[in-house]
Amino acid sequence: KRKMIYGCQYQKRKGLLEKTGNYELTDIKDFLKSVKTKSIFIGDGANLYSADIRSSSKCSSIYQDRVGFPQVKYVFPLVYEKFQRKAYEDPAALIPIYLYPEDCQVKKKAV
């Protein structure tokens, strides 16, 4: 384990989550240094690095279950607002986000 996480920071504004930074693959310690306020941590990394997170003084809560994973009731308000404005995304223009093996130390299994 290299203590690397893939994450992003969000802030709740007007009842909705707004992304406040870029997605990043970074060391858990560096990620915690970039957190400015008490925060809620979710996802697999929150469980894996809970000791680091709790000792950082930036932790308000850690959700180790899948309680924070996207559900329609949370995603729908974000999508519906764009839908009403006819702000559609062109599927052909979407750019996938890839994590490369050399970035995250993924080893392929021998067949």
DSSP secondary structure code for residue 94 in this structure: -
Locus of tokens 């932790």: 59
Q: What is the pTM of this model?
A: 0.57
Q: What is the dihedral of CA 13, 18, 21, 27, to 10 degrees?
A: 100
Residue 98 pLDDT = 62
Please name the residue that has the structure tokens 């469980």. Answer: 47
Give the Cα separation of 62 and 47 in Å (integer): 8
- Residue 66: per-residue pLDDT: 58
DSSP letter at 15? T
The three-state secondary structure class of 99 is coil
pLDDT tens for the 111 residues of the chain, in order: 567 888 888 888 888 888 888 888 888 888 888 888 888 888 888 888 888 888 887 777 776 665 555 677 777 887 888 889 988 888 888 776 666 555 555 555 666
The gap between the terminal CA atoms of the chain, to the nearest Å, is 23
Rounded Cα distance between 42 and 63, Å, is: 5
Q: Please tell me the number of Cα atoms within 13 Å of 13 on its side-chain side.
A: 5
pLDDT at residue 61, rounded to an integer: 76
